[in-house]
Amino acid sequence: MILVNGVACDTVDALDRGLAYGDGVFRTLAIRAARPQCWQRHYRKLAGDCAVLGVPCPAPELLLAELAELAREGADCAAKIIVTRGAGARGYAVPGEVRPMRIVISDALPQHPPRYAESGVALHLCRLRLGHQPALAGIKHLNRLENVLARTEANDAGCAEGLLLDFAGNVIGGTMANVFIAERGVLTTPDLGRCGVAGATRERVIECARAAGIACRVEDIGIERLLAAEEVFLVNSLIGVWQVQELQHKAWGRGELAPRVREWLEREED
């Protein structure tokens, strides 16, 4: 099901700036038993990302009603929300009067092999490096060609996910997931101030770790440090947690922290 500005419809304005320039943001979240998971957190992120671009964010009640409409078709599904700056005349200049467009799309929850969650995944180290753009770093905007190219690399390598470094050699994350490493009981996740997408689940893991008395740092991580870590795992709103089993010549066994993180994420959150 696709709702465009609240109306069931499978097309959008051909002059929408989301298409013309990627001028918008999006979120992907799970709906389970008709409940959008971590809705407050996702909405906060959506509103924050809209604010960075200066796109008016739709009211939460509006989106929540639309997610409920998706859930009536299927109580368990993946939902994607796109908010763009709406249609505009030719040219980069932002229209004087912005009428944002919102699209709410439901899809089946992804069917990954169960072993990904049980025993972990192989990670491909992408050749593509992420460029730095602090003005857009962290936000989940619609300019995602780097992710498309990196995803193609990971698929070609037969890996469940690709790992992206930036041009400075820092680990940034997966093509569709955020990354954490565990070292002597301490978690660290990359600083995303120059590039990357700061996902809702990453934020949740940071908060849960701190609440559980486990230190969680946000800082630059080089690839050698990641390869030497005791555990490496990937998180996002649909996969939950995947441990990394293999990257280049390194192999990891089961870790202790990843299962705890899974427990945290399986708790209900509003």
Least separation in angstroms between residue 61's CB and a second copy is 22
Stretch that binds a second copy, among 87-95, 182-190, 220-228, 262-270 (CB under 8 A): 87-95
Least separation in angstroms between residue 129's CB and a second copy is 8
Query: Which neighbouring-strand residues pair with 130?
Result: 166
Q: Under a CB-based contact definition with an 8 Å cutoff, are residues 243 and 118 in contact?
A: no
Nearest to 200 by CA among 265, 123, 135, 146: 265
Nearest to 195 by CA among 223, 169, 214, 216: 169
Stretch that binds a second copy, among 34-42, 61-69, 146-154, 207-215 (CB under 8 A): 146-154
Least separation in angstroms between residue 168's CB and a second copy is 11
Least separation in angstroms between residue 64's CB and a second copy is 20
- List the structure tokens of 143: 């300019």
Nearest to 188 by CA among 164, 175, 206: 206
Nearer to a second copy, 2 or 186 (CB): 2
Nearest to 102 by CA among 76, 125, 69: 69
Binding mask 126-145 for a second copy (x = CB under 8 A): --x-xxxx-xx----xxxxx
Which residues are CB-neighbours of 246 under 8 A, at least 6 positions away?
A: 120, 121, 122, 123, 252
Binding test (CB under 8 A) with a second copy, winner from 50, 171, 176, 181:
176
Applying CB under 8 A, what is the total number of residues that bind a second copy? 59
Query: Which neighbouring-strand residues pair with 83?
Result: 25, 102
Residue 94 is a binding residue for a second copy (CB under 8 A): yes
How many residues comprise the chain?
270
Judged by CB under 8 A, the chain residues 23 through 62 that form the site for a second copy are: 23, 26, 28, 53-54
| Contacting residues toward a second copy, per CB under 8 A | 2, 4, 9-23, 26, 28, 53-54, 78, 80, 82, 84, 89-94, 103, 105, 107, 110, 128, 130-133, 135-136, 141-152, 155, 167, 175-176, 195
